[in-house]
Structures are given as C-alpha cells and as structure tokens.
Amino acid sequence: SFGPAAVSLPAGSRASVQTALRTLLAARWPSQRDVRSWLQLLSVLQWVLSFLLLGTVSLLILIYLVFTSFWPISALYLAWIIFDWDTPEKGGRRLPCLRRWPVWRHFRDYFPVKLVKTHDLSPSHNYIIGSHPHGILCVGAFCNFITGSTGFGEMFPGIRPFLTTLAGNFRLPVFREYLMSGGLCPVTRRAIGYLLSKNGTGNAVAIVIGGAAESLSCRPGVTTLILKKRKGFVRMALQHGAYLVPSFSFGENDLFRQVVFEEGSWMRSIQQRFQKIMGFAPCVFYGRGLTSVHSRGFLPYARPITTVVGEPVMVPKIEDPSSETVDMYHEMYIRSLLKLFNENKTKYGLSETDELHIL
C-alpha cells in the first residue's frame, strides 16, 4: 500500500514562503474608490474607441473576409445594408436596453456629466433642441440625449430624445447599428423631417448647430459658437411647427487641448477644405493618457460638464416660411440662448465677465 507522501521544505525555503505571504497580505488592495475609477476610465475608453475605430475596423474586417472562405458573411451583411438602407432616415432602430446600459453610469461619473432642467417640455409638441457648443466629441450631448444616465426621461416624461450626427457615419458597417440603437439619426432634412412629422409627438431632435466648423475653434477658456448663418434648423422648425429649445453644455470645451491654427494659415485652409469635402474637420487635439492623468493621450480630461436645457421658443407651423420669418425666429432663438448662458455661467465654472461669442 502507498501512504501520503510528506513533502518537507528546507528551513530557508519555508522562511521565503512565509515572507512572500506576509508581503502579499500586507500589500494595499484596491479600494472601492480605485475600482470605481478604473470602471469609469474603461467606460470612457470603450466609448472613444467605438466612435473613432468601430466603423473603420468593421469595414476592413468585412473587406478581408471577402478574400477568405468566410466571404458569405460579408455578402450577407452587404445584402442587409442594402435592404436596411433607409432605416436611419426613418427614425432608426433604438434599443432601450442599450440606453440603460450600466456602463453609461460610469461614463457619466468620470467627468461627471449633469443635466439641468429649467422648463417643462410638453409631450403634445415636437422640439428641435439646439446643442451648444460642439467641442471635440460632443460628450455632453451624447451623455444627456443618448444615454439615460443623467435622467432625461425622468426630467422630461413623455419626451423621446434623438441626436443627429453626420450621415456618412450610417454608411459604415456595424457602426450604423450601434448609432441607431442609441437613438442617433442622420443630420439630414429627410431624417429630421420624419421625426417631426411622421413619428407622432413628444420627439426632441437635438442638433449640434455649430457642427464641424465650430470644433476648429474649440479650446479651454473660449466660448465661440458658429450660429449667425446657421438658419436651416429654424426653417425646419417652422415647417413642422416644432418648438426651438436652446441647450448649453458648460465645460464641454475643457475636455481636450487643441492646436488651433490661425485664420489664413496653410494648416487652417487644409482643415477647412477637408471639412467641405468630408463633412468634418481634422482637429489636432490631445487629452490624457490611459495610465496617467499627467501623460498625453486621446482620452478626455475629467472635467465637469453641466448641460442646461432652456426655455422653449414657441414656433408656429408655416409650410413655406419667408426669409424674414426665419430671421425673426432665429433672432428669438439667439436671445433665448444668450439669456440661458448669462443666467447660468457663474453657476457652472465661468466668471461674470465671460461672454458668448456668436459668429
């Protein structure tokens, strides 16, 4: 018969094992605060990577599969995109479960992002929410109007928020499904018109009015909006009788540092030409690194963002509004936006002397 074998360690080895155990037990284990910080950082990382890489990487993978034995996957997905081509223009395909995804709470708390309500929005009307400023990645608009983490649904019961983005994003495989599931739609007349006329009432379409041109002027301490000649959203509001609602995200311009090229420089002209061709501007910016807040990388700095939703500007329904009528309601919108900014700037990080520059 065989009995259990006894293993004996030399005295030196036993001492080494005991020392290692004591060192392990004495080591500082991550606290709940550390774990929360890591989760917040990872939530922001996945969001940045999704917006910067998901569409491009998915496209490259599908092209690669064409030349392998898995080519039917690419063929089937191409057939699906052709069949589903118009869905983004017809309200998209939002998934409530994605809006309630727990990761968005960690995303919100990283900055943190806060939503402030100043007036009620009645579900019996439709709305166009002007979102200002653009910043680099529209963090405030995304967090408040696409995720449910800041309580939009509880603050504005009966209101379905949508956020518009470049139509070209909906031509990228997989990325288009991701965008639609959250409630994003193309910033086109057809898509916005559908939500304001064929989707019932209680729709709030958020449009980042300044767009790509405004991102070129984004830098900390400067609040410049591209708005004076942007009147298409006012015309659409009049055509559909949708109320205009200004909103401002205080702190949006503090999330990244951007290399701003002066007007007339050759780099500025390249940015502007690229913007006209592709629809977005190639900004040279940086944020914090993944491992340290003191290193440079592509993650936004943790700066508080407070999005204040202002008072609706009541708009009548006029199918073919005159230029004078559009100008009048455009001026009313700007006055409402300036009032919102001036009444709240000292509450959320700005000084009394800070002004809103509208170009």
Residue 268's pLDDT is: 66
* pLDDT tens-place string over residues 265-283: 766 677 667 666 665 566 7
Give the model's confidence band at 338: pLDDT under 50 very low, under 70 low, under 90 confident, else very high. very high
Percentage with pLDDT > 90 across the chain: 66
Give the model's confidence band at 64: pLDDT under 50 very low, under 70 low, under 90 confident, else very high. very high
Residue 2's pLDDT is: 45
Token couple for 201:
């009432």
Give the residue, 286 or 206, on which the prediction is more confident: 206
Give the model's confidence band at 119: pLDDT under 50 very low, under 70 low, under 90 confident, else very high. very high
Q: How many CA atoms lie within 13 A of 218 on its CB side?
A: 30
* pLDDT tens-place string over residues 164-215: 999 999 999 999 999 999 999 999 999 999 999 988 999 999 999 998 778 7
Q: How many other CB atoms sit within 10 Å of the CB of residue 61? A: 14
Measure the CA–CA gap between 235 and 231, rounded to whole angstroms.
7
Average confidence score pLDDT of the chain: 88
Nearest-CA neighbor of 250 among 310, 332, 198, 190? 310
Say which residue the tokens 């939530």 belong to. 43
Token couple for 263:
């007007």
Average pLDDT over residues 238-256: 95
β-strand partners of 185: 164
Average pLDDT over residues 143-156: 95
Q: How many other CB atoms sit within 10 Å of the CB of residue 21? A: 10
Residue 242 near residue 236, CB atoms below 8 Å = yes
pLDDT of residue 24 exceeding 70:
no
